[in-house]
């Protein structure tokens, strides 16, 4: 299915806004976010939900001196767009001026990103997806397992025009898949989960995920309780992803930095965690996995930003406004979520840089510990200055004894400072060379890329 | 677009679905408006107005549901979307496990009663209480950052179905709150009033913001944030705790609302947040809490964000007991899930917008009031804490093991507040044991509605506004500590 949001179709609308509605303002920015998605959801080894959603949204930012406001609309008719601009301008005029210089940024050349659009993935519809899923569903039915998960695909279109001359357009495909195999009743016994996130997917990758979870679910049969306490853990890339996404929210975005709640605040140039950990935000997805994005909602190129290098705090991400506030240039991290509007910049493509280790060797190096495939309901708001987080084991987690996986263990809760936990990682051998990409909870325009980690003495505070 | 044009598009969608082979179809034309202003140290950091207009079409082929949504509002695009919905329905046909029943036609209309329409106010009028809050915090001094958050939300739905249903509703929510961030001794502490996170949101208009008296809230927030930077960490131990309404509402949300959603109970919600410790046959069998505990799913409660005329499959609002005298007696459900376990639907199938298919959601899940006042609750505590304002929340995938942290713990000894406060309090529990330890619930005078705007569920995730009415309540023998 070809996208309805072509460059010409989108460009016409954004340019019409600038040509017809920019009188009386110092700057007008019009951005477009289009989503054409085919969603499919699985449970009990059947397809339980399927939907096709087409949504295009224009977002307007009006700037008058040091006053600004934003308005967005999915009414893409010309009167609808005009109303949207009127609202943005009217709200900007009535909003008290701030201290920041909020002039819209001048254009900067945007480099194209790698293989962003896969036509096969873009064209996947419910009929093809059903056919691709059938062998996996049948295999799980035959094993009396409940296969659950999602198989979402789509095309994202992203464009920005502004009165300063910014004019950029990008279109990319994405595939966000999760497969969980569960003994019945689902959720009460053994289970296993794998995820996949990239700009393309084929039938083989889907089958591979399904086979991995089916096998691991059988291995996880009969989880046994182990006592809470300090455990050496090997975290899979999926388990690490939740921790990293929270680090972004509590530390690398500008708002927690401004408020002083970020653990980076007042500590730039200082050691905040272990040498083994380097964290960057890089929307070019340099390891070739994940979904790239070339520019932000201001149309500024997304730069690679070093946030933590070998344990030392380096900085945060910036949009044009926060960049000026801190005396630097935008790093291309202006982001407006219509669902969670936040002021300031947002880290959206966090990577933990790969190390020298591999997951198997990490497991072999553990005398007595846990191999954790996934965490559940991580929350990083407990004490953000120390990055204290809590969360639970979910799906297959295994006891390791003398470097061997023994048996599955029942869910437990950890509560620990993640900075202190990362500080205990035994060098680059405790960070795997191999990484995986994960779609964000906030949608396919954001992702994390993470390795496996070996963390000694993670603090588990309670059992189920 | 006027309502008659909206209905014409809905009818075109339904006709196209029936022609494509659907045996039943519903169309929802939804206009959603949301305004958010975030104020930091007296200046607006964000002023964002969203208008989201589109149509969602749900079609039934055999016993399989399909769904499509679009905001390209010409007839061709809508007919195309309808055909897509009908095609996707074929993929889910094998999953139903029941003969899906076509509901009776309903004609209805609902509008939120409101005194001051927030969308009719100027920015200055909306910002005035936040400016006052800022000024009062500034006057006190010592606060590094003060924040204010304002949200107004309006959702208008025209609902038509092939059974002849023709319904309309317009829901308006309004709310917000203030917070103070203090920094001292290398520590950073936050106090948010009336509630942590986004503030409190209720169905109605700007009168709710006026009633909050944000100036007073700001002073209390600032004083307590400053005091917390000097406070000790909350000592470890098993204590009696009283949860203030703002924290108790989230406790209800996570440990009662979500586990009693029938799609979770049936294993249909695994792919995002998990399932439930409850099974279909837990109803009338499982002890959920002490005899004092009565919980109700109620989409008719005044001011409740989960109040409406009808849910997003057109079922009229209703009141469904969930827990009676500590016994589990009901679930949150839509028509199909209710049919699967043989109970009455609790009109709880809701969708974030036209762009999302409706799923089982909370409405207002309320803890019914007990007797007495906050002072009476405190009078019954030998050694414990009053905990207020949520800071973090986490619960396992069966909704059993939970951990919440709050902004502040007020010490209680020998039936009185000592005046001492502790920082970073955390409490832990397991759902049925926790509710089983409930030893007192304050009475109707202390009962209040609390709204949450961002309840995440579904895959792709949908964010829904829900309500929890409750009065402060006391729980005995709870593990408490600090980070």
Token digits for B48?
């964002």
| Residues A104 and A123 reside in one and the same domain | yes
Q: Express as a percent the part of chain A with pLDDT over 70.
A: 99
| Residues B160 and B239 reside in one and the same domain | no
Length of chain A equals 464
Domain interval for residue B445: 233-482
A327: enclosing H helix or E strand: none
| Residues B116 and B155 reside in one and the same domain | yes
Number of domains in chain A: 2
Specify the pLDDT at position A1.
66
| Residues B192 and B55 reside in one and the same domain | yes
Residue A2 lies in a domain: no
For residue B353, give the nearest of B468, B460, B259 by alpha carbon: B460
| Residues B307 and B223 reside in one and the same domain | no
| Residues A200 and A233 reside in one and the same domain | no
User: Residue B201's domain is classified under what CATH number?
Assistant: 3.30.2290.10
Between chain A and chain B, how many beta carbons pairs sit less than 8 Å apart? 278
Give tens-digit pLDDT for A177-230.
999 999 999 999 999 999 999 999 999 999 999 999 999 999 999 999 999 999
Rounded-to-integer distance, Cα A237 and Cα A279, Å: 14
| Residues B225 and B313 reside in one and the same domain | no
Angle between helices A203-219 and A126-142 (to 10 degrees): 20
| Residues A49 and A140 reside in one and the same domain | yes
ipTM: 0.96
Neighbours of B261 (CB within 10 A): 30
Give tens-digit pLDDT for B344-401.
999 999 999 999 999 999 999 999 999 999 999 999 999 999 999 999 999 999 999 9
Rounded-to-integer distance, Cα A243 and Cα B432, Å: 29
Specify the pLDDT at position B3.
86
Give tens-digit pLDDT for A340-390.
777 799 999 999 999 999 999 999 999 999 999 999 999 999 999 999 999
Rounded-to-integer distance, Cα A76 and Cα B70, Å: 11
Chain A residue with the nearest C-alpha to that of B400: A464
Rounded-to-integer distance, Cα B187 and Cα A454, Å: 30
Final residue of a structural domain among B197, B230, B263: B230
Q: Which of B67, B394, B456 sits opposite A390 (nearest CB)?
A: B394
Rounded-to-integer distance, Cα B196 and Cα B454, Å: 13
- Please say if the pLDDT value at position A115 is more than 90: no
Residue A72 lies in a domain: yes
SS3 of residue A60 by DSSP: strand
| Residues A344 and A200 reside in one and the same domain | no
Residue A170 lies in a domain: yes
Write the DSSP assignment of A157-212 as a string of letters: EEEEEETTS-EEEEEEEEEEEEEEEEPSSTTTS-EEEEEEEES---HHHHHHHHHH
| Residues A295 and A437 reside in one and the same domain | yes
Token digits for B365?
């899940």
Dihedral of CA atoms A317, A322, A325, A328 in degrees, nearest 10, equals 40
Number of domains in chain B: 2
CB A177 within 8 A of CB A207: no
Query: What distance in Å separates residue A390's CA from the closest CA in chain B?
Result: 7
Residue A306 lies in a domain: yes
Q: With the C-alpha atoms ordered A320, A322, A325, A330, is the resulting torsion angle positive or negative?
A: negative
For residue B151, give the nearest of B36, B43, B303 by alpha carbon: B36
Rounded-to-integer distance, Cα B59 and Cα B363, Å: 24
> For residue A100, what pLDDT band results from cuts at 50, 70 and 90?
confident
Q: Do A50 and B88 touch (CB under 8 A)?
A: yes
Residue where the block lists tokens 């289970």: A191
| Residues B348 and B361 reside in one and the same domain | yes
Instruction: Classify residue A404 as exposed, middle or buried by CB count within 10 Å of its CB (0-12, 13-18, 19+).
Output: exposed
| Residues A376 and A446 reside in one and the same domain | yes
Buried b / exposed e across A353-389, counting CB within 10 Å, b at 16+? bbbebbbeebbebbeebbbbbbbbbbbbbbbbbebbb
CB B356 within 8 A of CB B70: no
Final residue of a structural domain among A201, A219, A237: A219
Site from A3, A38, A50, A90 to mutate, B interface, most B CB atoms within 10 angstroms: A50
Chain B residue with the nearest C-alpha to that of A184: B267
| Residues B143 and B199 reside in one and the same domain | yes
Show residues of chain B in contact with A152, CB under 8 Å: 459-460
Q: Which residues contact A340 (CB under 8 A, 6 or more apart)?
A: A442, B454
Give tens-digit pLDDT for A5-54.
999 999 999 999 999 998 999 999 999 999 999 999 999 999 999 999 99
Token digits for B86?
């009908």
Q: Do B271 and A42 touch (CB under 8 A)?
A: yes
Rounded-to-integer distance, Cα A406 and Cα A428, Å: 26
| Residues B82 and B218 reside in one and the same domain | yes
Rounded-to-integer distance, Cα A280 and Cα A317, Å: 10
Specify the pLDDT at position A463.
85
A324: enclosing H helix or E strand: helix A320-325
Phi-psi region of B97 (alpha: psi -120 to 50; beta: other; left: phi over 0): left
What Rg, from alpha-carbon coordinates, does chain A have?
23
| Residues B193 and B317 reside in one and the same domain | no
Show residues of chain B in contact with A260, CB under 8 Å: 144-145, 181, 183, 188
Q: Do B54 and A74 touch (CB under 8 A)?
A: yes
Q: Do A392 and B394 touch (CB under 8 A)?
A: yes
Give tens-digit pLDDT for B437-447.
999 999 999 99
pLDDT, averaged across chain A: 96
Site from A136, A377, A397 to mutate, B interface, most B CB atoms within 10 angstroms: A377
| Residues A109 and A140 reside in one and the same domain | yes
Token digits for B227?
């005091």
Site from A382, A394, A410, A463 to mutate, B interface, most B CB atoms within 10 angstroms: A382
| φ, ψ (nearest 5 deg) of residue B391 | -115, -45
CB A104 within 8 A of CB A296: no
| Residues A52 and A191 reside in one and the same domain | yes
Residue A120 lies in a domain: yes
Query: What distance in Å separates residue B270's CA from the closest CA in chain A?
Result: 6
Final residue of a structural domain among A158, A192, A219: A219
Q: Which residues contact B151 (CB under 8 A, 6 or more apart)?
A: B34, B35, B36, B173, B174, B175, B176, B198, B199, B201, B453
Give tens-digit pLDDT for A388-408.
999 999 999 999 999 999 999
Specify the pLDDT at position A457.
98
> For residue B312, what pLDDT band results from cuts at 50, 70 and 90?
very high
Final residue of a structural domain among A193, A219, A245: A219
Give tens-digit pLDDT for B67-121.
999 999 999 999 999 999 999 999 999 888 899 999 999 999 999 999 999 999 9
Domain interval for residue A377: 229-463
Final residue of a structural domain among B174, B202, B230: B230
Residue A1 lies in a domain: no
| Residues A387 and A424 reside in one and the same domain | yes
Rounded-to-integer distance, Cα A26 and Cα A163, Å: 9
Write the DSSP assignment of B125-136 as a string of letters: HHHHHHHHHHHH
B394: enclosing H helix or E strand: strand B383-395
| Residues A439 and A393 reside in one and the same domain | yes
Q: Which of B52, B65, B72 sits opposite A54 (nearest CB)?
A: B72
| Residues A307 and A382 reside in one and the same domain | yes
| Residues B216 and B275 reside in one and the same domain | no
Residue A312 lies in a domain: yes
**pTM (predicted TM-score):** 0.98
Give tens-digit pLDDT for A48-99.
999 999 999 999 999 999 999 999 999 999 999 999 999 999 999 998 888 8
SS3 of residue B217 by DSSP: helix
Q: SS3 sequence, B15-43?
A: HHHHHCCCCEEEEEEEEEEEEEEEEECCE
Q: Which of B46, B188, B356 sits opposite A261 (nearest CB)?
A: B188
What's the whole-number mean pLDDT along residues B305-311? 98
H-only helix segments in A195-273 = 203-219, 237-247, 254-259
Q: How far is CA B388 from CA B36, B42, B241, B251, B404, in A?
A: 25, 25, 10, 12, 11
| Residues B225 and B239 reside in one and the same domain | no
Query: What distance in Å separates residue A356's CA from the closest CA in chain B?
Result: 32
Residue A224 lies in a domain: no
Rounded-to-integer distance, Cα A239 and Cα B362, Å: 29
What is the longest distance spanned by two Cα atoms in chain A? Answer: 72
> For residue A337, what pLDDT band results from cuts at 50, 70 and 90?
low
| Residues A441 and A381 reside in one and the same domain | yes
- Please say if the pLDDT value at position B423 is more than 90: yes
Rounded-to-integer distance, Cα B406 and Cα B389, Å: 5
| Residues B204 and B333 reside in one and the same domain | no
């Amino acid at each position: 299915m070809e996208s309805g949001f072509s460059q010409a179709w989108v460009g016409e609308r954004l340019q019409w806004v600038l040509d017809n509605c920019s009188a009386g303002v110092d700057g007008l920015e019009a951005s477009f976010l289009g989503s054409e998605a085919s969603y499919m959801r699985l449970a009990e080894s059947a397809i339980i939900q399927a939907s096709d959603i087409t949504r295009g949204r224009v977002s307007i930012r009006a700037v008058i001196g040091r006053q600004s406001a934003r308005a967005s609309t999915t009414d893409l008719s010309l009167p609808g767009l005009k109303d949207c601009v009127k609202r943005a301008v009217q709200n900007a005029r009535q909003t008290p001026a701030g201290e920041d210089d909020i002039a819209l940024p001048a254009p900067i050349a945007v480099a194209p990103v790698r293989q962003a659009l896969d036509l096969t993935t873009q064209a996947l519809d419910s009929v093809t997806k059903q056919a691709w899923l059938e062998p996996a569903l049948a295999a799980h039915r035959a094993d009396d397992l409940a296969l659950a998960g999602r198989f979402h695909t789509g095309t994202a279109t992203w464009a920005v025009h502004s009165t300063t001359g910014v004019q950029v357009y990008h279109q990319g495909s994405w595939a966000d898949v999760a497969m969980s195999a569960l003994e019945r009743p689902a959720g009460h016994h053994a289970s296993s989960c794998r995820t996949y996130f990239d700009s393309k997917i084929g039938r083989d990758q889907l089958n591979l995920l399904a086979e991995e979870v089916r096998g691991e679910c059988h291995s996880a049969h009969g989880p046994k309780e182990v006592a809470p306490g300090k455990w050496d853990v090997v975290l899979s890339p999926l388990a690490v992803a939740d921790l990293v996404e929270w680090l972004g929210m509590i530390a690398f975005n500008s708002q927690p930095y401004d408020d002083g709640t970020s653990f980076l605040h007042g500590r730039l140039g200082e050691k905040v965690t272990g040498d083994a950990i380097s964290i960057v935000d890089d929307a070019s997805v340099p390891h070739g996995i994940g979904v790239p994005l070339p520019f932000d909602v201001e149309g500024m190129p997304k730069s690679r930003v070093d946030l933590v290098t070998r344990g030392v705090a380096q900085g945060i991400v910036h949009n044009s406004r926060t960049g000026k506030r801190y005396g630097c240039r935008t790093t291309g991290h202006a982001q407006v979520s219509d669902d969670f509007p936040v002021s300031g910049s947002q880290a959206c493509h966090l990577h933990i840089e790969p190390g020298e280790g591999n997951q198997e060797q990490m497991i072999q190096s553990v005398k007595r510990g846990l191999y954790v495939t996934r965490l559940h309901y991580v929350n990083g708001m407990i004490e953000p200055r120390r990055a204290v987080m809590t969360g639970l084991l979910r799906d297959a987690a295994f006891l390791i004894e003398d470097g061997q996986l023994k048996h599955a263990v029942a869910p437990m809760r950890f509560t620990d400072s993640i900075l202190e936990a990362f500080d205990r990682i035994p060098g680059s051998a405790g960070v795997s060379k191999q990484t995986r990409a994960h779609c964000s909870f906030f949608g396919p325009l954001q992702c994390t890329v993470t390795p496996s980690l070996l963390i000694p003495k993670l603090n588990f505070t309670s059992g189920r | 677009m006027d309502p008659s044009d909206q209905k014409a598009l809905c009818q075109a969608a339904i006709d196209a679905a029936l022609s494509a082979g659907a045996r039943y179809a519903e169309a929802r034309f939804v206009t959603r408006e949301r305004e958010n202003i975030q104020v930091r140290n007296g200046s607006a950091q964000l002023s964002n107005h969203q208008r989201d207009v589109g149509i969602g079409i749900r079609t039934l082929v055999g016993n399989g549901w399909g769904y499509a949504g679009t905001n390209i509002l010409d007839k061709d695009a809508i007919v195309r979307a309808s055909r897509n919905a009908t095609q996707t329905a074929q993929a889910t046909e094998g999953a139903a496990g029941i003969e899906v029943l076509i509901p009776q036609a309903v004609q209805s209309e609902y509008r939120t009663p409101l005194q001051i329409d927030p969308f009719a106010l100027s920015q200055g009028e909306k910002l005035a209480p936040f400016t006052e809050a800022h000024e009062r915090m500034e006057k006190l001094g010592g606060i590094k950052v003060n924040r204010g958050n304002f949200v107004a939300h309006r959702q208008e739905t025209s609902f038509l179905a092939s059974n002849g249903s023709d319904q309309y509703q317009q829901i308006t929510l309004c709310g917000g709150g203030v917070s103070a961030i203090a920094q001292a001794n290398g520590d950073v502490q936050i106090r948010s009033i009336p509630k942590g996170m986004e503030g409190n949101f209720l169905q109605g208009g700007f009168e709710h913001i006026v009633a909050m008296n944000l100036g007073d809230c700001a002073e209390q927030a600032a004083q307590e944030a400053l005091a917390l930077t000097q406070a000790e960490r909350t000592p470890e131990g098993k204590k009696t705790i009283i949860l203030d309404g703002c924290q108790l509402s989230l406790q209800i949300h996570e440990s009662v609302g979500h586990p009693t959603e029938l799609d979770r109970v049936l294993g249909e919600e695994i792919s995002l947040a998990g399932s439930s410790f409850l099974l279909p046959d837990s109803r009338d069998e499982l002890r959920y809490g002490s005899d004092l505990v009565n919980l109700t799913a109620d989409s008719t409660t005044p001011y409740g964000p989960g109040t409406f005329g009808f849910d997003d499959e057109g079922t009229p609002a209703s009141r469904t007991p969930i827990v009676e005298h500590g016994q589990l007696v009901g679930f949150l459900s839509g028509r199909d899930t209710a049919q699967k376990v043989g109970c009455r639907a609790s009109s709880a199938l809701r969708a974030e917008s036209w762009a999302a298919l409706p799923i089982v959601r909370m409405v207002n899940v309320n803890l019914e009031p007990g007797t007495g006042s906050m002072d009476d609750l405190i009078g019954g505590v030998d050694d414990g804490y009053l905990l207020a304002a949520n800071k973090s929340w986490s619960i396992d995938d069966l909704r059993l093991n939970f951990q919440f942290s709050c902004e502040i713990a007020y010490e209680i000894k020998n039936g009185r507040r000592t005046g001492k406060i502790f920082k970073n309090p955390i409490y832990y529990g397991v759902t049925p044991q926790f509710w089983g330890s409930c030893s007192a619930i304050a009475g109707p005078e202390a009962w209040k509605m609390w709204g949450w705007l961002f309840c995440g569920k579904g895959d792709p995730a949908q964010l829904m506004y829900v309500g929890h009415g409750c009065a402060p309540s006391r729980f005995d023998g709870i593990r408490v500590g600090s980070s």
